[in-house]
Structure 1
Amino acid sequence: MDGNKILKKRDEILKEDKWKLHEIYENEELWEEDFISFKKESLKLKDFQGKLQDKEEILKYLEFNEEISRKGEKVYVYAHMKSDEDTQNQENQGRMNKVDSFMAEFGSYNAFFTPELLELKEEFIEDLINNDKRFKIYDFLLKDILKEKKHILTKDMEELLALVSDCLDAPSSVHNMLTNADMTFEEIVDEDGDKVELTEGNYSSFIRSKDRRVRAEAFKKLFKEYKKLENTLATTLTASVKNFNFSAKIRHYDEPLKASLEPNEILVSVYEKAIETINKNISSLHRYVKIKKNLLKLDEMHMYDLYVPVIEVEKEKVEFEEGVKIANEGLKPLGKEYLQIFNEGIKSGWVDIYQNKGKKGGAYSWGGYDTMPYVLLNYNYELNDISTLVHEMGHSIHSYYSRKTQPYYYAGYTLFCAEVASTTNEALLIHYLIDKETDKKKKSFLINQELEQIRTTVFRQLMFAEFELYTHNALNEGKSLTAADYNKKWHDLNKTYFGDDMVIDEEIDIEWSRIPHFYSDFYVYQYATGYAAASAFANSILKGNEESVEKYIAFLKMGGSKYPIDILKIAGVDMTTSKPLEATINRFNELLDMLEKL
C-alpha cells in the first residue's frame, strides 16, 4: 500500500511539517498559568462599572480591556488549535472545553461598557476624541459606538443577552447534532460494485462520480433521510430565524436584514442589488447548464449531474514543495514583498500541512494579535490543494498585514472583507493555470473549475441569500412557515436559477435543511460580494498596473479601521454599485466562450 494512504498518528508527522504552536506556549503548564491568570484578572473589568463618567477611567478601561482580551485570545486560540491537530487527545479536548465554558461569562463582564458610555453626553465623547491625544487611537471605535446608540440596551439587558447567547444558539447546535451525529444513511453500490455506507463526508465524492447511477443513488438516498426529518428540521430553522428576529426587534431595527448590515454601515441596497443583478443575468447560468448538458451528452440534465466535471483528467500527484512553487508563480503579480511574506510564513511554521489521525478536517486560517497567523491544511497531493493553500494564506497574509499595521482594536476585519483576500489569491492562481496550460483537455478541466467556483460562490450563495431574505421577512411579518413552505420556496428558486434545461428533482426540495450557514444569519451573501470584489482586484492586478498592487496591499493593511464598504472603495472597488458583480458574470461568460471554442 502507498505510504501516503496510511493515515499517520500525530507524533509520526515530521516536526517541520507541523505548525509551531510552541511559539504561543512552550508547554501546557504555561497555558494553564495564563488561563488561571486570565480568569482571575478579567474580574477586574467589573471594577470599572459605574465609573465611566471620568475620562481617566475610560482610558484605563480601554487599555486594560485590550490587555486582558489579548491574553484571553491567546489561551482561546491555542486551546482550539491544539484540539484541532488531534481531536482524539482528551487533554486537548479538556483545555478547549474549559476555555469555551468561560468565554460566555467573560463576555458578560464588560457588557456594561457600551450602555454606560452611551449614558454620557455626545459632546463629552467628541471632546475626548478631538482634544485629548490619548484618545485619538479610539476615534473610530468610539464614533462607531455612538452611531449604534438607539440599538444599545440597558446594562442589565446587555449582560442578560450576553449570558443567554449560548441558549439562543441552541437551534444551530441541534441542527449540527442531528445532521452530523444522529443522522445515518443507507448503503450505496459504488463504481466498483462494492456496498459502501453513505455519509456526509463521502457524499461529495459520490456526487462527482463519472458513473451516473452512483451519483443518482447517492443523491436520492442522502435527501431521503433529510426528508424523513423535514418537520423537525423546519422547526429548528424557524426557531433559529425567530431568535435572530427577536434580537433585531428588541434592538429597535426596522427589519431583520438591517440588524445584520447596519452595524457595519452596509446599505440594504447592497444586499438587494446583488440579488437583483444575479436575477437579471440568470441566463448566463442557464447557458452553463445547457453547455454542460451537451458536453456530458445527456438527454436530461438532473440536479445530481450538476457537480460532475465536464471533462476528466488523470490526477497528478503534486508534492507540497511543488505546490508552493506553483503558488509562487500564480501569485507573482502581487510583487516581491507579498511573495516574501508568503514563503517566510511557510518556512517559519505558520502551516500545519498534512493529515493525521484525529486531525480536524478541512482548512482554515486563524491566530491572534500576538501569534503567527496559523493555517490548518489537510494536504492531499492534488491540484485543488494548491488552491486551498493560496486561499488560506490569503487570509493569513491579510491578518499579518492588518496586525502589523493596525492597533489591537482595529486589527480584525469584518466578514464582508474576510473572503476578499483569500479569493483574490484563488483568482490569480486559476488565471495563471488556465493561461499557461497548452493541453486542450487539461485547459477545459481548469476552465470548468473556475466556472464551478463562480457558480457555487456567486450564483449559489445568492440563491441562498434570496431564500434567507424570504424566511426572515415571512416570520418577521408573523407568518407561519412549515416544511412544505420551505420546500416550495426552495423548489421555485432552483427552477428560476437553473432554467428549462434542468430537471428539478423533487429530492432537491429538502436541500435547504442541509445547509448549516442558514444558522449564521445573512452570512452567505458575503461569499458572493467577496468573490466579486476579489475578481475586481485580480483583474486590475493582472493588467500589470503597479498602482493596483499598492491599492490592494493598502486594503490588506486597513484591517477593520473603517467600515468595509469604505475600505474597499478607498482601494478602488465600489460595492455600492453592481459593477464588481457584473464583471464577475462577464468573466463567467468569457469562460463559457472559451469552453465552447475548445
Structure 2
Amino acid sequence: MTTYSTRKEVPDHEKWDLTDLFNNEQEWRAKLEECESICDKLQTYDGAITSGSDLLAYLKTQEELSFHLRKVFAYTMFLTDIDTRDSHAQTLSDRTTKLGVKVSESTAFFMPFLLSLNEETLRSYLKEEKELEYFEDELWKSFRFKDHVLSKEKEELLSQLSESFQAPGATFSMLNNADIQFGDVTDDKGKKVQLTRGMYAKLIEDEDRNKRKEAYKAYYKPYIELNNTIATTLGAEIKKNATMAKVRNYESALQKALFADDIDPAVYDQLIEAARNHIQPLHEYSRLRKEKLGVDELRQYDLNASIVPGVKADIPYEEAYSTMIHALQPLGEEYVERLKEFKDKRYIDVRETPAKRSGAYNMGVYGVHPFVLLNHHDDLNSLFTLVHEMGHALHSHYSSKHQPQITASYRIFVAEVASTVNEVLLINYLLNETTDEKMRAYLLNHFIEQFRGTFFTQVMFADFEKQTHEKAENGESLNAENLNSLYEELFRLYNGPDIVFDDEVKYGWSRIPHFYRAFYVYQYATGFASAIQIATKILEGDKDVLESYLTFLKSGSSADPLELLKAVGVDLTTPEPIEAAMKKFAELVDELKKL
C-alpha cells in the first residue's frame, strides 16, 4: 500500500487541480463578495414582486447566485477536506457558512410570498412573461409545500437560526475528522503506532485474528470514551429534526425528509419490512463465516475477514483504473472515454494523507466539473470505491451536460443507482475474468460483503433512524444508554444469533456521519436494489434498458425520482425490486456454500 506522511509527497496528477474553480484565494474572495452583493439585490425584491417581469427578474438573479455559490462553497469545502486541521481553510469555510446564512435570509421571503399567490395570479404572471416557462415546473412543484411554509416573519427567524441548527452535525464532524485519536496497534516491525482509518480498513480484513481484534479495540476506543458527548450531539440532531417537522406541519420527520422527492413513507417502511422478512440468508452467511474461519465464537471483528484464506488482491491505483475501464465497457465507448478524461484532467484526489477527510465522495459543480475525493489504499475495497464514486461522477457529468441548471442536480433518492450499477458490472467482470475457483469464491465473498454493507447494513441504519426519531417524537429520552441498547438490539436482529457480542458492538451508531443527514441511508439500499435489476438486464444484452439507463444518467431532476426509475423498468412502489435483490443475495450465498 502506498502511504504518504504529508500531502506534498503526493504526485500532482493524483491531487485535485482547484484552479478549475479559482486561480487563487483572491479570486475566491472577489466571487464571495459578489455573492454578498447579489444577496443584497435579492432582498430588494421583498414586497416588490407585482408582475411577471418582477418574478422573472428575481428568479434569474437567484439562479445566478446559486451558480456562483456552488463554486464558492466547493472551494472552501475541498480545502478543508484535504486537511481538516488547516485553520486558514477553516476561516475561509466560516466565511462561506456566513454567506450561506445571508443567502437564506435574503431569500426567506420568497416561498411565503409565492404560496400567498392564488393560482390565477401565478398563471397570469406566466402568461405575461414567456421566459418564465423555464421556471414553471419548479414554481408549480413549490405549491406542494403550501401547508409547510410559515409566515414571512417566521421563515426569516428560522433563516437566522440556520447556522445554529447545523451545530450538532458540525460538532460531530470536527470530533470525527479532526479531534478523535484512535488507540495504538502493532505494526509489521513490532512497534506500537497510532491507528488511522486507512490502516483500520486494511487491518479489520487481515487474516490474523489477533491483528483484527487489536485494530477493532483501538478503533472503537475514542467512540467509547466520547459516548456521552456523541450521544448528546446525535440526540440534539434528532430532536431538531422532530421539532422542525412539527413546526412545518408534517406528520413526522420521516415524512418531511421524503416530501421533496414525493416519496411515500410506505416505500421506506416496505424496505425495512422486506429486509426483515428475507434476513435468513444473511444469518446463514454468518454461520458459514463462523465455520470457514474456524472460530469457536464469531465476533464483530471477524465479519470483514475473507473466508477464502490465502487470496489477497493487491491492486495499485493505475491498475485499478484500468480494470474499471474494462469492467464498464458494457456502458459504451463514450462513457468509457469520459472516465479516462477524469483521470487525466485531475478531477480526482486519490491518496490518504494526515487529517484528510475520511471516506470518499463525489461533488458535481455545475459549469465546472465533478470533483471526486478518495482515500485509495491499493486493494479490492479501494477498487470498488473508485468504481462507485466514478458512477456518481459520470451521473453528475451527464446531467450537467444535458440539463439546464435548474434540473441538473439529481435527487438523493436516485443518487446511489449509477454508483451501484458500476459495482455490479465490476463484480461481473472480475468473476468472468478468473478461472481460479478459489479466486471466484473470494470475489463472491467480496460481493456478498458489498451486499451486506450496502443493503442490509444501510437498512439496519434506516431502522435505527426511524426508531430514534419516533422516540423523539414521542418525547422519549435519547441518551447514550438508550442509543446503545437500540443499536445492539438491531445489530443482533440483522446479523443473526451466531455472533458473540463484544462491548464495542453497541457503540457502532456513534461513528456514522450519515445520521446527521436524516433518512439518507435508506437510499443506498433502494439504489442498490434498483441497480441490481438494471445491471442484470444490461449484462443480459437488453439494449432498450441500456439506452433508457443512459437517458436516466442525463436526466438530472427533470422528473420525480420514482418516475425516472420506472422509465428504466424499476418500480419501487412495489416490493418486486427489493424481493428480486433478496433472491439474488440468497443465490450468492448458496453458490459460495457450494464453492
Is 1:211 aligned to 2:208, yes or no? yes
Q: Give the SS at the match of 1:503.
A: coil
Measured in 2, the distance between the counterparts of 1:200 and 1:15 equals 23
Paired residues of 1:77 and 1:367 also in contact (CA < 8 A): no
Paired residues of 1:7 and 1:355 also in contact (CA < 8 A): no
Aligned equivalent of 2:17, options 17, 20, 28 = 20
| 1:306 Cα offset (Å) | 1.1
Partner of residue 553, structure 1: 550
Partner of residue 521, structure 1: 518
Partner of residue 273, structure 2: 276
**1:356/1:289 Cα in 2 relative to 1: closer, same or farther (>3 Å)?**
closer
Measured in 2, the distance between the counterparts of 1:487 and 1:82 equals 35
Q: Which amino acid aligns with 1:536?
A: Q
Alignment of 1:301-316 (within 5 A): 301-313=298-310, 315-316=312-313
Alignment of 1:43-192 (within 5 A): 43-85=40-82, 92-129=89-126, 133-189=130-186
**1:438/1:513 Cα in 2 relative to 1: closer, same or farther (>3 Å)?**
same
Q: After superposition, give the CA deviation of every residue in 1:317-338 in whole Å (9 maximum; x if it has no partner).
A: 4444433321121101111221
**1:248/1:69 Cα in 2 relative to 1: closer, same or farther (>3 Å)?**
same
Paired residues of 1:52 and 1:117 also in contact (CA < 8 A): no
Paired residues of 2:350 and 2:375 also in contact (CA < 8 A): yes
**1:84/1:257 Cα in 2 relative to 1: closer, same or farther (>3 Å)?**
closer
Paired residues of 1:186 and 1:221 also in contact (CA < 8 A): yes
| 1:171 Cα offset (Å) | 2.2
Alignment of 1:114-513 (within 5 A): 114-129=111-126, 133-189=130-186, 193-198=190-195, 202-220=199-217, 222-223=219-220, 225-313=222-310, 315-355=312-352, 359-513=356-510
Which is worse superposed, 254-263 or 489-498?
Answer: 489-498
Q: Give the SS at the match of 2:572.
A: coil
Q: Which amino acid aligns with 1:35?
A: L
Measured in 1, the distance between the counterparts of 2:352 and 2:183 equals 27
Measured in 1, the distance between the counterparts of 2:489 and 2:527 equals 26
Which is worse superposed, 348-357 or 160-169?
Answer: 348-357
Q: Give the SS at the match of 2:589.
A: helix
Q: Give the SS at the match of 1:365.
A: strand
Structure 2 gaps, min length 5: none
Paired residues of 2:297 and 2:499 also in contact (CA < 8 A): yes
Which is worse superposed, 185-194 or 36-45?
Answer: 185-194
Paired residues of 1:122 and 1:146 also in contact (CA < 8 A): no
Measured in 1, the distance between the counterparts of 2:516 and 2:396 equals 26
Number of equivalent positions: 595
TM value normalised by structure 1: 0.92
Q: Give the SS at the match of 1:208.
A: coil
**1:255/1:377 Cα in 2 relative to 1: closer, same or farther (>3 Å)?**
closer
Partner of residue 527, structure 2: 530
Paired residues of 1:415 and 1:526 also in contact (CA < 8 A): yes
Which is worse superposed, 467-476 or 217-226?
Answer: 217-226
Measured in 1, the distance between the counterparts of 2:181 and 2:388 equals 32
Q: Which amino acid aligns with 2:573?
A: T
**1:364/1:130 Cα in 2 relative to 1: closer, same or farther (>3 Å)?**
same
Is 1:591 aligned to 2:588, yes or no? yes
TM value normalised by structure 2: 0.93
| 1:546 Cα offset (Å) | 1.0
Measured in 2, the distance between the counterparts of 1:467 and 1:360 equals 25
Paired residues of 2:289 and 2:307 also in contact (CA < 8 A): yes
Q: After superposition, give the CA deviation of every residue in 1:413-460 in whole Å (9 maximum; x if it has no partner).
A: 111111111111111111111122112222222111111111011111
**1:406/1:584 Cα in 2 relative to 1: closer, same or farther (>3 Å)?**
same
Measured in 1, the distance between the counterparts of 2:450 and 2:20 equals 36
Q: Give the SS at the match of 1:48.
A: coil
Paired residues of 2:197 and 2:358 also in contact (CA < 8 A): no
| 1:522 Cα offset (Å) | 1.1
**1:7/1:190 Cα in 2 relative to 1: closer, same or farther (>3 Å)?**
closer
**1:361/1:500 Cα in 2 relative to 1: closer, same or farther (>3 Å)?**
closer
Q: Give the SS at the match of 2:260.
A: helix
Paired residues of 1:140 and 1:562 also in contact (CA < 8 A): no
Q: Give the SS at the match of 1:376.
A: strand
RMSD (Å) for aligned C-alpha atoms: 2.5
| 1:220 Cα offset (Å) | 4.3
| 1:386 Cα offset (Å) | 2.7
| 1:89 Cα offset (Å) | 5.9
Partner of residue 563, structure 1: 560
Structure 1 gaps, min length 5: none
Q: Which amino acid aligns with 2:462?
A: A
Paired residues of 1:367 and 1:373 also in contact (CA < 8 A): yes
Q: Give the SS at the match of 1:366.
A: strand
Q: Give the SS at the match of 1:150.
A: coil
Measured in 2, the distance between the counterparts of 1:548 and 1:409 equals 26
Q: After superposition, give the CA deviation of every residue in 1:228-277 in whole Å (9 maximum; x if it has no partner).
A: 54444333322211110000001001122111112210001100000000
| 1:500 Cα offset (Å) | 2.4
Report percent identity of matched pairs. Answer: 39
Which is worse superposed, 96-105 or 413-422?
Answer: 96-105
Measured in 1, the distance between the counterparts of 2:319 and 2:214 equals 37
**1:94/1:5 Cα in 2 relative to 1: closer, same or farther (>3 Å)?**
same
Which is worse superposed, 242-251 or 374-383?
Answer: 374-383
